[in-house]
Structure 1
Amino acid sequence: MAGRIKDEDIALVRERTPIADVIGEYLQLRNAGGGSLKGLCPFHDEKSPSFNVTPSKNLYYCFGCGEGGDAISFVQKIEGLAFAEAVESLARQIGVTLRYEESGGRSTRRDEGKRQRLLDAHRAAAEFYAEQLLSPGAVEARRFLSERGFNRAHAEHFGLGYAPAGWENLTSHLRRKGFTDAELISGGLAAQGRRGAYDRFRNRLLWPVREVTGEVVGFGARKLDPAEDGPKYLNSPESPVFHKSRLLYGLDLAKRDISARNQAVIVEGYTDVMACHLAGVTTAVATCGTAFGEDHLKILRRMLLGRSNQGGKVVFTFDGDAAGQKAAVRAFAEEHGFASETFVAVQPDGLDPCDLRLHHGDQAVVDLVDHPLPLYEFMIRKVIEEYDLSAPEGRIAALDAAAPVVASIRDHGVRRFYGKNLDRWLGTLDEAFVLNRVNQHIRRATARGARSAPAPAAGPVPTPDAREAPYDLGDPSLQRERLALKVAVQFPGLAAGFDSFTAEDFTVPQHRAMLALIAGQGGVAAAGDPASWAARLREAAPTEAQRDFVTRLAVEQLELYGELDEHSARQILGTVRTHSINRRESNLQSELSRLGGSGDAGEQQRLLTELMALQQHKRALQEELAGGM
């Protein structure tokens, strides 16, 4: 049995490994004087760099957390590898052939470590898929790329490939190269069937997902035949080498420009990354089938070095549709932990970067990224545009909805700046009044934080699109809506009408966010097993705040006089819908009254028609509810 790596080979790896190049793959290093380099430590959260690298000694040390060592220990810690695996990884990069000692002292070669075997399998798979993209069977894959403005050279640059339609094309190919079924299944390249391993990806266009070092660790795959089963996009599963919460697609290509330009652009899809890079926005990256989270944030922070050292600009680009707005909300929730200036770029016509490049050319993509809105301004404007600012009541309601967003800004000067802007955007012409409203929310949040434990009757933790938004459990409208949400979470099989709700049916941002979360999971119609439904919603929730809200809705009592059945569930949902119609009816009547004798007959007729349709809808709903009694 092969034993340990020979000491002289370990010493050779240490000697020949340029530590600054190795560590520079993971974080930005800058000259610290005296022959040393400095960056943000990857092993603890910090705003000012205390991580030092001394190339002349091939050592690193963090004065913030005390971590230190050589290139081997760095790779070992940051990748979670055993000592021998770290040595093997570095040896492969610098071209050193390792020798191993058996118990009898005889030198020999041995199989490389498990992780390296999986990396080798993925590299071989990427090569196989790339070859298949040129095959006759990949005509639909090539058409997909061509229709989006990508040619063969672009596909080769990003390493794109095609998974043939059969069940064992890749599996058989890798078996012939000496890989076992167990290795292919462990790495996520194959799945376990009753008759053995079979290809995980079939008849799909594939994007290789690489670590920052350039090693392929997984794939993103796009379905080509709409009639086939399975999701449109399928990513590699979690494996010893693929951890989607710590991977950013395109980072291996973008890392140097991110550091050089002090800019990172976050897009939503693989084709968006391609479009941005080809248009000249070479700092674009995307997540791999998951929401942008804390681990992604830490990776970029290290690349950008942080605000205290002239840190960079992070631009989130989102689709102009509802999903894009949800992504903006998630970004807002994460912004407080970001040590860089954060912006949002949304194309007014709703085109994503890929379609934007296709329809308007490369310059349009560059212009989109070059003209973003600060994230706070984007979020505040998104809140207030939901309200009618032509009436004092609408402006006050918009102020109460937007003030918590302003109050959440930690920097006093920036908070005051946006408070004044909020006054201007609302047209209240009373800065002192607006700023006082903002300060009320700050005091309310401070008082809540000072309490050692929340009172039993306290409302749920606000969701990110409504930080500290008023949530009065004594409000009858809120109680009705909350009960409907509990039915949808606890008894999805009885909530058949829930999926037809719209955001307009709910009065508070927390409830609208829950509606969006449920809709994002396919609605209650896709709940499946009720026992796992709440768990699915928790996992899909973009922040801890919303996960907490889901938990509360899942465990709270329904507070009914009897058992919940199909009839009572229908009554609960119908009551929410009826009150929603009443609110819209009242708003239309108010608008008609406001027009009065203005002479705009066309507008009056439109409002009257809409009002009559609402009244007819309400009568039908009431008849439906009465018929079920």
Structure 2
Amino acid sequence: MAGRINEEDIAAVRERARIDDVVRDYVMLRNAGSGSFKGLCPFHDEKTPSFTVTPARGFYYCFGCGEGGDVINFLMRQQNLGFQEAVQILADRFGVELRIEDDGAPGQQPGLRKRVLEANEAAQEFFAAQLESAEAVEGRRFLHGRDFDRAVAQHFGVGYAPRHGWALHQTLKAKGFPDDVLKAAGLIRDGGRDFFTGRVLWPIRDSAQAVLGFGARRIYDDDRLPAKYINTPESPVYKKSHVLYGLDLARREIGRKQQAVIVEGYTDVMAAHLAGVETAVASCGTAFGEDHARLLQRLMGSQGGLHGEVIFTFDGDKAGQAAALKVFKGDQNFIAQTYVAVEPTGLDPCDLRMQQGEAAVRELVARRIPLYQFVMNNIAKSYDLDRADGRLAAAREGAELISAIRDQSLVNQYLRELAGVLGMDLDDVRREAGRFNRRGGPGHEPPPPPEPEESAVEPGWPNPDDPHLRLERDSLKLMLQHPITFDTAWNSVQEDDFTHPGYRAVFRLLSGVPYGDGWTDRVRAAAPNDLVAQLVVALLVEPLFREPDENYSLAHSARLQLSRVTREIADVKSRLQRTDPVKDPTGHRAQFAHLTQLEMKRKELQLVGLA
């Protein structure tokens, strides 16, 4: 989806979409008391329910696997959707009209996106029906020639656009779609003629099954448009750099297998899926780019380090080699290991399936090799390695590429393999690599690594059953679930009152977000990392022993501070015992005075804590 959803509309979706209603579509929930529900977690296998839903707070949390969030997070995780896709599905279900805003531009007309999607869906039904018409014989012959029968065409939603230039326009107009919506969707041109005529079409859907646009292939020699393929123009819902054909069919398997196979065309996606490679997708009318990489990263999960694998199918010719080199230079965009699957005969997956069968397509993917290895081998082929200057030139080109490798722990391995491919001494190749670095290029020393920011350091996950941390955990549960029972200074609670870094991080977080409407959502949004955000959710849904009031929270805060003061008293007593009052009378008196003050504070807190 192009643009950004208005924040007020997102808040309205969270408010109207009851989390228990949505979760019940996937999980059998049972009443667990205190206004919460329990069921078996849909995100991991378990026999004893540990998945908790708290409708009053709008959160879910699994105490078994640690998954948690709000209703939007749940739908994203369950259906492997992006944030905007999940919001749109919930908005449609619970009757919220979304306003789409472009950065630096006025907001999109309310409801336009929904009407465009409805028009696209109606167009898809029209095109699919037309494939059965007498006129579409050439379209059916095209599909049959690639071994795709009627059932396959229906499965992938393949359609046909009549050569009559007004057929779609007239049909959709009769269904009540105005011209401005059809034009915004890219279904008709300025003069009212259909955008697609006389072509076989494939619906391009997002991972939520919504039709965003179409890709169309030329099948007639007298087609006025010379391009073999044309696609829907940019629209409120279609942006070619953000979409992948086949994503609606592949998204679950991509998430499950942690793998994505990138092919070049619509028929290649069909052939791959029919052959059992159900993670295949293709870019639509544009080269695979950064936005596509981020989309796959989201589907496979961002868990730090290299995660999953992205496999590109390239031809072994020069065009395929150039495409591989382009992907390699953009490899920084992936959080996955990147591979290449090359068919030596130059056949694409569709032709490979027709000529050698479906097993050959599966074997093509299974024979994948690391992208860097493919690129290194092709560099070696570009130079005369029998000559010293040829080997040196190849080493320089390879070393420059290796200097941009995302995972620096792999650089030494890559240099060693490059040296082996070129038949050179490893130290000589390393010397060439030293001339390059990620930022400076040749002749620049790499800058020192930046110091990690405190907010970026993960605090670790505290054990919820640790009795020594129970007071800290219960105090934060009170603060998050019933903040109005505390004063604006959190009853004088300090960050040092918490001993576990995870709990300190949560208290630091909530202390920095002013209380008001949507406070818990803003606290989660401000979390420095996913671990802290998940810990906040866990604390929000864990039950309390009783319904608190101001006196209860005040007593609890006093007990928490009393624990800190008791620790400080033990520290001062230890230092006092090690201080000689004769040799250091000033230090001894100062520590004794401090101890006296702490003892007075302890008695004060004990009285409040007993209230």
Q: Same fold (TM over 0.5)?
A: yes
Q: Would you say the 8 A contact 1:248–1:286 is kept in 2? A: yes
| Paired position in structure 1 for 2:528 | none
Give the secondary structure class of the aligned counterpart of 1:354.
helix
Q: Supply the distance in 1 between the matched residues of 2:13 and 2:360 (Cα, whole angstroms).
A: 56
Residue equivalent to 2:187: 189
Distance 2:83 2:322 in 1: 32
> In 2, Cα distance between the equivalents of 1:131 and 1:137?
12
Structure of greater Rg:
2
In structure 2, C-alpha distance between the alignment counterparts of 1:247 and 1:281, rounded to whole Å = 19
Change (3 A) 1:295 1:98: closer
CA distance in 2, matches of 1:422, 1:87: 51
| Counterpart in the other structure of 1:71 | 72
Q: Trace 1:373-392 onto structure 2 (pairs within 5 A).
A: 373-392=369-388
Q: Cα–Cα, structure 1 residues 54 and 257, in superposed 2: closer, same or farther, change >3 Å?
A: farther
Structure with greater contact order relative to length (CA < 8 Å, sep ≥ 6)? 2
Q: 2:145 aligns with which of 122, 144, 147?
A: 147
Report the counterpart of residue 339 of structure 2 in structure 1.
Answer: 343
Distance in 1 (CA, whole Å) between partners of 2:330 and 2:55 is 35
**In structure 1, what is the Cα distance between the partners aligned to 2:206 and 2:19?**
22
CA contact (8 A) 1:276 1:284 kept: yes
User: Per the alignment, do residues 288 and 15 of structure 1 end up closer, same or farther by CA in structure 2, a change over 3 Å counting?
Assistant: same
How far has the Cα of 1:410 moved from its partner?
4.3
Residue 224 of structure 2 is aligned to residue 229 of structure 1: yes
Could you list the per-position Cα deviations for residues 550-573 of structure 1 after superposition, in whole angstroms to 9, with x for gaps in the alignment?
xxxxxxxxxxxxxxxxxxxxxxxx
Instruction: Give the Å deviation of 1:395.
Output: 1.6
Task: Check conservation: 1:19, 1:59, Cα contact below 8 A.
Answer: no
Residue equivalent to 1:445 = 441
**Residues 35 and 282 from structure 1, CA distance in 2 versus in 1: closer, same or farther, beyond 3 angstroms?**
same
Amino acid at match of 1:437: E
Aligned residue for 1:120, secondary structure, equals helix
Q: Aligned partners of 1:309 and 1:399: how far apart in 2?
A: 28
Counterpart CA distance in 2 for 1:205 and 1:426 is 48
Deviations 1:581-613 (A, max 9, x none): xxxxxxxxxxxxxxxxxxxxxxxxxxxxxxxxx
* 1:400 to partner: Cα distance: 2.0
SS in 2 for 1:199: coil
Distance 2:55 2:299 in 1: 19
Q: Which letter maps to 1:431?
A: L
User: Shift in Å at residue 114 of structure 1?
Assistant: 2.3
What is the distance in 2 between the residues matched to 1:77 and 1:264? 16
Which whole-Å deviations, capped at 9, do the CAs of 1:79-121 have from their partners, x for residues lacking one?
Answer: 399x9x7654134xxxxx899xxxxxxxxxxx99322221111
- The question of 1:321 aligning with 2:317 is answered yes
Q: 1:112 to 1:19 in 2, by over 3 A?
A: farther
Match of 2:418 in 1: 422
Distance, in Å, in 1 between the alignment partners of 2:283 and 2:326 is 13
Q: 1:19-58 CA deviation, whole Å, 9 max, x = no partner?
A: 9979xxxxxx955999569xxxxxxxxxxxxxxx989964
Secondary structure in structure 1 of the residue aligned to 2:189:
strand
Structure 2 partner of 1:201: 196
Alpha-carbon distance in 1 for matches of 2:89, 2:335: 31
The equivalent of 1:59 in structure 2 is 59
Letter of the 1:170 counterpart: L
Of the three residues 232, 244, 251, the one matched with 1:255 is: 251
The 5 A counterparts of 1:37-436 are 58-59=58-59, 70-71=71-72, 78-79=83-84, 88-91=91-94, 113-193=111-191, 197-230=192-225, 231-306=227-302, 308=304, 311-428=307-424, 430-436=425-431
SS in structure 2 opposite 1:316?
Answer: strand
Aligned length: 398
1:71 is aligned with what amino acid? I
Which amino acid is the alignment partner of residue 159 of structure 2?
G
Distance 1:8 1:157 in 2: 32
- The whole-number CA distance in structure 1 between the counterparts of 2:289 and 2:254 is 18
Partner of 1:626: none
Residues 250 and 278, structure 2, Cα contact 8 Å, conserved in 1: yes
Q: Alignment partner of 1:441: what SS?
A: coil
TM-aligned CA distance change 1:340 to 1:77, over 3 Å: closer
> Given the superposition, is the C-alpha separation of residues 314 and 77 from structure 1 closer, same or farther in structure 2, using an over 3 Å criterion?
closer
Counterpart amino acid of 1:438?
A
Give the direction of change, closer, same or farther, for the CA distance of 1:245–1:322 in structure 2 (3 Å limit): same
Q: Alignment partner of 1:266: what SS?
A: strand
Decide whether the 8 Å contact of 1:306 with 1:312 is kept in 2: no
Provide the C-alpha distance between the structure 1 equivalents of 2:171 and 2:15, rounded to a whole number of angstroms: 34
User: By how many angstroms is 1:18 displaced?
Assistant: 2.9
d(CA) in 2 for partners of 1:20 and 1:416? 50
**Alignment partners' CA distance in 2, 1:275 and 1:417:** 36
Letter of the 2:149 partner, please give it: N
Q: 1:115 to 1:30 in 2, by over 3 A?
A: same
Change (3 A) 1:431 1:73: closer
The AA in structure 1 aligned to 2:315 is D
Amino acid at match of 1:59: F
Runs of 4+, deviation exceeding 6 Å = 7-10, 19-22, 53-56, 72-77
Distance 1:316 1:143 in 2: 29
Give, in whole Å, the separation in 2 of the partners of 1:415 and 1:87. Answer: 45
TM-aligned CA deviation for residue 153 of structure 1: 0.8
Q: 1:12 to 1:341 in 2, by over 3 A?
A: closer
CA drift of 1:386 comes to 0.6
Give distance in 2, aligned partners of 1:264 and 1:343.
Answer: 10
Conservation of the 8 A alpha-carbon contact between 2:186 and 2:235: yes
Supply the distance in 2 between the matched residues of 1:224 and 1:218 (Cα, whole angstroms): 19
Residue type matched to 2:176 in 1? G
Instruction: Kindly state the Cα deviation for residue 416 of structure 1 after the two structures are TM-superposed.
Output: 1.2
Secondary structure of the 2:203 match is strand
Q: Is the 8 A contact 2:315 2:344 kept in 1?
A: no
User: What SS class does the counterpart of residue 437 from structure 2 fall into?
Assistant: helix
Q: After TM superposition, give the deviation of residue 142 of structure 1 in Å.
A: 0.8
Q: Which residue of 1 aligns with 2:589?
A: none
Contact 1:19 1:58 in 2 (8 A): no
Q: Does 1:17 align with 2:22?
A: yes
Q: How many percent of aligned residue pairs carry the same amino acid? A: 42
Query: Equivalents in 2 of 1:8, 1:245: separation in Å?
Result: 27
Could you list the runs of 5+ residues in structure 1 that have no partner in the other structure? 23-28, 38-52, 62-66, 92-96, 100-110, 452-629
User: Contact between 2:311 and 2:338, CA under 8 Å: does it hold in 1?
Assistant: yes
CA separation of 1:32/1:309 partners in 2, compared to 1, >3 Å: closer, same or farther?
A: farther
Structure 2 CA distance for partners of 1:72 and 1:178, relative to 1, 3 Å: farther
